[in-house]
Amino acid sequence: MTFRLGKKPARPGAARLKLASYTNAAALPPLPAAFGHDLSIGTRNWGMLANDRYGDCVWAGAAHETMLLAREAGRVVTFTDADVLGDYGAVTGFDPARPDTDQGTDVVEAANYRRGTGIVDARGVRHKIAAYLALEPGNVEHLYQATYLFGIAGIGLQLPSSAVAQSKQGKIWQVIPGAAIEGGHYVPLVGRRADGLHVVSWGALQVMTEGFLQQYCDEAVAYVSEECLVNRKSPEGFAYDDLIADLAVLA
């Protein structure tokens, strides 16, 4: 199986809002040792969404995130390769007939598109996020907090060649000293369990160690989505109204 990358280099400061501005860590309950709803979809039921042929990992990840958030609210949302590639092309100019246009995606540009336009599903419905917030890549507690509160966090990695080999062998992503960097890759962080951190990569759940995340994560984003809200109730500890007001000022 071919595994393609496709995340452009991180741009520190490109995402203007930060998670730390909207949460009060002292007021939140302690994070449980294990959390996440990833098993509601399963290990290998996510779909490759063309990431074996093209560098659309940012868009495949967006679709996987939407699938999971909708499932948390009791709904099933599906995506096709064409849906994902259409959004990839809308933002980057990608054209399957022109291989030179397959240059990957800037995560913050994708987040802006997801907020303003939304990604399209197999039924032609567009799914928007309400907001996105920057996370500190090396601050694992921030990453865990975002995943626990919002169901997902978007993780940008400078992926080493060892991880590609580990994926092909069905092994955990862990640091192998001296491994060369293959390029940028985007994965949704969807849970933490006894065997490690669970992300979705190349159509399947992938486990990685905390050390791997700290070593290779170069950007991270929390997404605020109404997909998983019930009766428009905000996640505990999150100042949703304040954030929306800030976004109105920035728009």
Domains of the chain: 35-250 (3.90.70.10)
Alpha helices of 75-205 — where are they, by DSSP H? 81-92, 107-116, 140-150, 161-168
> Helix count (H) and strand count (E) of the chain?
7, 9
E strands in the chain = 35-36, 119-120, 126-127, 131-135, 153-160, 181-193, 196-201, 204-208, 217-224
pLDDT of residue 17: 83
Distance from CA of residue 238 to its chain's centroid? 19
**Model pTM score:** 0.91
Percent helix, percent strand, percent coil in the chain, to nearest 5: 35, 25, 40
Decide if 115 contacts 62 (C-beta within 8 A): no
pLDDT of residue 73: 79
pLDDT of residue 235: 46
pLDDT of residue 50: 97
92, two tokens: 């980057």
Instruction: Round to whole Å and give the CA distance between 184 and 156.
Output: 7
Ranges of the chain whose pLDDT falls below 50 = 234-236, 251
Q: Which helix (H) or strand (E) holds 185?
A: strand 181-193
Tally of CB atoms within 10 A around 174: 16
pLDDT of residue 142: 85
Instruction: Round to whole Å and give the CA distance between 78 and 127.
Output: 11
Distance from CA of residue 53 to its chain's centroid? 19
